[in-house]
Chain A
Amino acid sequence: MRAIVGPKAVLDAPQDLLLYEYDGSIEKGRPEVVAFPRSTEQVVELVKLAARARIPLVGRGAGTGLSGGVIPTEGGLMIGFARMNRILEIDYDNECAVVEPGVVNLDITLAVQGAGYYYAPDPSSQKACTIGGNVAENAGGPHTLAYGVTTNHVLGVEAVLPDGTVIEVGGKESDLPGYDLRGLLTGSEGTMALITKVIVRLMKAPEQIETLLAIYDEPAHAADTVAGLTARAIIPAAVEMLDGVMLRMVEEATHAGYPMDAGAVLLIELEGLSEAVVEQLEQVRGVCLENHAREVRVAKSAEERALLWKGRKNAFGAVGRISPTYYVQDGVVPRTRIADTLKHIYHVAEKYNLIISNIFHAGDGNMHPIILFNPRKPEELERTKQAGAEILTYCIQAGGSITGEHGVGMEKNDLMPLVFQPDSLKMMERLITVFNPDRRLNPGKLLPTGKGCLEIRPMTESQKATTW
């Protein structure tokens, strides 16, 4: 491996590997070696080497995943894409950019915003997570409500199959014939191929943006507002919700100006042509007030807007200050079911005597209950897991699903039979094995293993310090 990528680009000392045994989830597992290629050719060589040696392998972006997607379940080789982080081409005429997988999400927008463009999918982790990881997980974000998730913004990918074959699918041109392999690979959680290049869509930045903070005494009223907006045919660019528990944690950490005594707030963003934004602002304010918002604030400047969003995007860091260990869930429900799902979550918190805070992409019904727990109390960990499973079961019964953007990984794979019949799971397995016949690439993910979870680990100091 050192001959392929150079001596400094391979790690195998135990103290170095420690850094690579976790991601943003509560799972843990150590690779035997980590290599950092600089090119597709080097990826191919590494993959072929692993194929000859028959060792498992997994691709790693920034390790911010929240479902253990990147955790090696059987040791083996981890291919880190940190050095493949170049933006290869920016093509405004064709409204796209060609990037390597290790490019950090936000860096694309930073590179094109001067010309009035941006890359739309904006996971809250966008300062750290990579495009390769985004494609693998089909990541979403606050603004995917109006513009769609990663899969709607990926025009083409280059990928290396576990036998070393390089395939190119999609491209700058639309409507190329054949099966939509880019659609199949996007969201396949690194179980079918390693992504080595991505063509992403660039969008024109909106003329005007307005950000509102609607403040409520009751979380249910905030939830009703979301349903009210949808019913009125208003689709804002983003609708995020923070409940009271969450608000107080965020405010203490960020001083974003959120009210400490509220039951919930909605952070609503409107964007587009000035005419549209001005009209929508009044409509949205109306729907908020109708649903008993006690106050609706509109950010008066770019600084105020940035501060409101900082509160939202730093939320996980804020939780980390209170409780170093927490369990983030990612269930989705139809938008008319947010209010009763929230109510159920509070009921579960009470039943299991746990603190659960909520911060989530309300506009598309993507709930993120965050369960705080103390890992040193095994009995509390057990309650946490049960509470999590109960919430997800409720989401399924409400007509929803168990993950909206974080992926199944090794965390929810044993819940998959609650969502899909065996025949559907079998078909997924068959499709994966077409690309990855011996399941050596990222084994133990996405599909049920029947083995259950790995051990839960406390957050490291470096993770706590990170601001998202």
Chain B
Amino acid sequence: MGEMSEQIRRPTTVEELAAELAAGAAAGQAMEIGGAFTKRRLGGSATAAARTISTSALDQTLAYEPADLTISVGAGMPWASLTQLLADNGQILPLDPPFPGATVGGVLAADLSGPRRRRYGTARDVVIGMRFAAVDGKVVESGGMVVKNVTGLDMGKLMIGSMGTLGAIATANFKVSPRPETSGTCAFLSDSTDKLAKLRGRMLQGVAQPTALDLLNAACGRGLEIDFGADFVLLAEATGSEAVVKRSRATFETLARETGVEFLALEETAAQRLWRAIRDFHPASLEAHPKGLLLRISTTATQLGEALALLAGLAPDAWVLSRAANTVIWCSLDSWESGARTLERLRKAGHKTLVESAPPEASLERWVAGGPALEAMRRLKAELDPQGLLNRGRLWGKI
């Protein structure tokens, strides 16, 4: 991890932000752009930069008309403040990103989301407009404040997940959702990943769909202090009216019985605590495993059970969390050296595996990338940041 430069610059207007970038570019300075800098160990660690720019002072609500279900805020607004403001109006923006203290801009740049993704999608599904500052000092706008809009290129998509390598997100517009009337969480316990994978499949084939569906192993449960005493637990949240939640729970219970896994209906406060703990899997596992490896496995439904079984065999003590409906698995191992073997086996078995975090000294292929799509990404980077000044080292230094 690079050292932070002494003084963090905190522009207070979008124009000042753009001017900061332009000044850095004119001086040929490497620049680190961030919000609250909570994710310096994630997504390819940032390297030392001559100029550090934070968007944290761009923290205003720019427009909010609850009746339109849209909101526009500065990128520096803490995510928690944004969701609180919405909650006060009975609305939600359910990305549930990890890292308390994260800002809106950081959440979008790192493309973080959480358990309710099955129902509400990720950042790309809720952002309807964006302004960003380019390295040449220009302020660029994309989209707008309406929920449906194809006026011009959707440049916001490009910024989401770009880890600040293309420019600095200055403001973001979202479509928000009404808060569901109620919710209910069920847990399914089993020692067999196979059975849980089967249950997952049957739940998703049903008409009563879960809003969130996560799977974790015992080590992860212990680490997050939500231990269920089983090797694996699948957690499902249903949301909607009382009747809908009741029906969903009954459906899930029947499926659990048919699949031969233990079923538990959780009480609401316990459920809330549980989802909060899961949401912060990333910071918790990074803290627990300071010299460890954090892997992200993008797999398919067909291979999910196999990937989980592989992990159970190779690294029983690793923390494993899967966003089961989306078939993404995170695996946090306590030592990068011993974890390297797990990484190799996963890749050999055909699971697309990314090193989300590893100590700088770890000699590992963090992202196996290549081909014409990567070339196209490099050309985009070269166009937007020709000197390669922005967030060097991010995106694993590949782009």
Contact = CB atoms under 8 A, between A and B. Distances in A.
Interface in B365-394: 367, 369, 371-377, 379-380, 383-384
Nearest to A149: B148
A172 B145 CA distance: 30
A407 B90 CA distance: 34
B10 interface: no
Interface residues of B, number: 81
Interface string A73-95: 00000000000000000001111
Contacts of B151: 401-403, 408, 412, 416, 419-420
Contacts of A233: 90, 178-179
B207 A273 contact: yes
Contact of B155 (A184, A206, A446): A184
Contacts of A93: 201, 300-302
Interface in B127-178: 134, 138-142, 144-155, 157-158, 160-162, 166, 177-178
A285 B193 CA distance: 46
B158 A180 contact: yes
B70 interface: yes
Contacts of A424: 140-142, 152
B327 interface: yes
Given A177-B369, A178-B395, A275-B244, A428 B155 contact: yes
Interface in A390-434: 399-408, 412, 416, 419-421, 423-428, 430-432, 434
A183 B395 contact: no
A56 interface: no
A41 interface: no
Given A94-B301, A174-B298, A273 B247 contact: yes
Contacts of A176: 298, 352
Nearest to A207: B207
A428 B372 CA distance: 21
Given A138-B150, A423-B140, A173 B352 contact: yes
B50 interface: no
Contact of A427 (B66, B138, B377): B138
A313 interface: no
B155 A427 contact: yes
B27 interface: no
B244 A334 contact: no
B125 A175 contact: no
A184 B145 contact: no
Interface in B175-198: 177-179
Interface stretch (A287-295, A316-324, A360-368): A360-368
A12 to B, nearest CB: 31
A334 B68 CA distance: 6
Contacts of B66: 231
Interface in A273-325: 273, 275-276, 279
A275 B243 CA distance: 6
A227 to B, nearest CB: 6
Interface residues of A, number: 84
B223 interface: no
B80 interface: no
A152 interface: yes
Most chain B CB inside 10 Å of its own CB: which residue of A173, A364, A407, A420:
A173
Nearest to B354: A177
B146 A334 contact: yes
Contacts of B298: 173-176
A275 B207 CA distance: 12
A227 B67 CA distance: 7
Contacts of B179: 233
Interface in A309-345: 332-336
Nearest to B246: A275
Nearest to B298: A173
B81 interface: no
B290 interface: no
Interface string B316-330: 000000010011100
Interface stretch (A160-168, A347-355, A369-377): A160-168
A423 B139 CA distance: 7
A29 B45 CA distance: 52
Interface string A126-147: 0000000000011010001000
A187 to B, nearest CB: 5
Given A93-B301, A180-B124, A230 B67 contact: yes
A19 interface: no
Contacts of A179: 158, 161-162, 166, 377, 380, 399
Given A405-B150, A423-B140, 15 more contacts: A140-B148, A167-B372, A183-B154, A273-B247, A275-B244, A334-B146, A335-B67, A400-B145, A403-B151, A404-B150, A408-B151, A412-B151, A419-B144, A424-B142, A427-B138
Interface of B: 65-70, 90, 111, 121, 124-125, 134, 138-142, 144-155, 157-158, 160-162, 166, 177-179, 201, 204-209, 240-241, 243-244, 246-248, 296, 298-302, 323, 326-328, 352, 354, 367, 369, 371-377, 379-380, 383-384, 395-396, 398-399
7 contacts: A93-B201, A94-B300, A173-B299, A173-B352, A176-B298, A424-B140, A431-B383
